[in-house]
Amino acid sequence: MSEKTNTPNRKHKLIEYANGPSLEEINGTIEVPKNLSFWKTLFAYSGPGALVAVGYMDPGNWSTSITGGQNYQYMLMSVILISSLIAMLLQYMAAKLGIVSQMDLAQAIRARTSRSLGIVLWILTELAIMATDIAEVIGAAIALYLLFNIPLVIAVFITVLDVLVLLLLTKIGFRKIEAIVVCLILVILFVFVYQVALSNPDWGGVIKGLVPTADTFSTGRTVNGMTPLSGALGIIGATVMPHNLYLHSAISQTRKIDHNDEEDVARTVKFAAWDSNIQLSFAFIVNSLLLIMGVAVFKSGAVKDPSFFGLYEALSNTSMLSNGILISVAKSGALSALFAIALLASGQNSTITGTLTGQVIMEGFVHMRMPLWLRRLVTRLISVIPVLICVLLTSGKSAIDEHTALNNLMNNSQVFLAFALPFSMLPLLMMTDSAAEMGKRFKNSLWIKGFGWLSVIGLTFLNLLGLPDSILGFFGDNPSAGEQTFSKILAYVLIVAILALLAWTIFDLQRGNKRYVAQQPAAAAKEADK
């Protein structure tokens, strides 16, 4: 276990060595009074769950859920439910790892694996954060365009300036940041509850869609270039986000805990789980509402634009709406404006959490630290490149083609997250399964272990199953025979590489855990001599 150390005040360099507690500036800084009622105690521990939950409501989630509703009506509701339940399980384990071991997931992996594997997993996680950031760039740029009619190219560049928002937030304290995030979540939730309530959805179809069928993960039919499996993988990737596991294992340590008091640790784990599950329940509701909105707005077939632009236009164009109540409210322009505001709020929320996660994995995997503003600036500038390329390549085409290309880029970025996820899930599961790491009281119970392994194996299988179609999707709606052959060969090569990397990860973690167990008697004796 890592121990908290006190470091003297000094002027920080742009890039410096870091090997202390996770997010050292806020680690253990929030006091939690003892002997309070359940609800007051829950309030004191609430906050980290909200920061995690915003990652489940970012523009990528919006795109995949709306597109899923547009193409397959309520069929993919079951995928949102399953993804949310898996997320609750994983986030509980992530928080528990941070609280009990006093290490975030990146630190724990790096301590139990070789340097080379640590660097590989760091790069993979950085790519996952950038994939998430692509969705945030697109969502924020579209929101700016819709609200202020700023050209998309300029709006993309403006998204870089959200680093100024981050600089402001770093000055106000972590507890206030938690409060701001919660307020933005409530705004998003209100907007979509209001809009879905007006849309008068088929609640029987919604409830029926919560039960998965054989068609839910099929590849037999394609709608607008999407199979049910590719739609499901996009939702899974957008919902169960790998970087959130690293974030939660770090920010769960913001509460001050007496680690010599097992009951205090147990209480923190308990309320961290309550906080996480409540906030993720809100995320499930938001994502479900988005899919329902996709069905309600697009079911008439009048809207041809499948992107955020199409939904915005539909919410402001009464001739496109299929519901009488929606039509009457849309005349004021309130529905479309609220949608754009919620989209912008969603992107800003994710900015905060994505930047914190970047710091966590950089410090944990490669022991490097840079200022949050610089970290944000570098990540955002890299993420802007594919979005700009997409906008520029489609600038001479029709508006629908341009919007569809952006929507496809966003959805494809979320599919990548699904592929990256097992490389975060697997170490997390193995770490929290270890009695040496967690202690007998806090290691995973039998049912958590069982569902955890089922999630890892099931998700990995679905990823590999959908990989050929995902690669083929990059060649457009009508790929040539040569492109089909190339995509299959590339898919098989990647499948072998993924399985090999997973095997390497398992081997290294098992070896590292055995080494840790062997070192424990000597460490205990040294501690007793002090």
Q: Where are the domains of the chain?
A: 37-420
pLDDT value, residue 301? 52
Q: What is the pTM of this model?
A: 0.83
Ranges of the chain with pLDDT below 50? 1-12
**Whether CATH 2.40.160.40 fits 37-420:** no
pLDDT value, residue 169? 63
pLDDT value, residue 167? 59
Tens digit of pLDDT for each residue in 97-110? 999 988 889 988 98
**What number of other Cβ atoms are within 10 A of residue 525's Cβ?**
9
**Contact, 231 vs 67, CB < 8 A?**
yes
**Contact, 28 vs 255, CB < 8 A?**
yes
Query: Phi/psi class of residue 35: alpha, beta or left (left: φ > 0; alpha: ψ in -120 to 50)?
Result: left
pLDDT value, residue 6? 42
Q: Token pair for residue 312?
A: 């915005």
Positive or negative CA dihedral for 398, 401, 405, 406?
positive
In degrees rounded to 5, what are phi and psi of residue 16? Answer: -145, 165
Q: Give the DSSP H/E element, type plus range, for residue 284.
A: helix 262-298
Between CA 407 and CA 295 the distance in angstroms is 17
**Contact, 199 vs 326, CB < 8 A?**
yes
User: Angle at the Cα of 422 (from 420 to 427), degrees rounded to 5?
Assistant: 115
**Contact, 470 vs 479, CB < 8 A?**
no
Between CA 16 and CA 412 the distance in angstroms is 34
DSSP alpha helix (H) spans, 434-445? 435-442
Identity of residue 195: Q
Residue with tokens 């880029």: 409
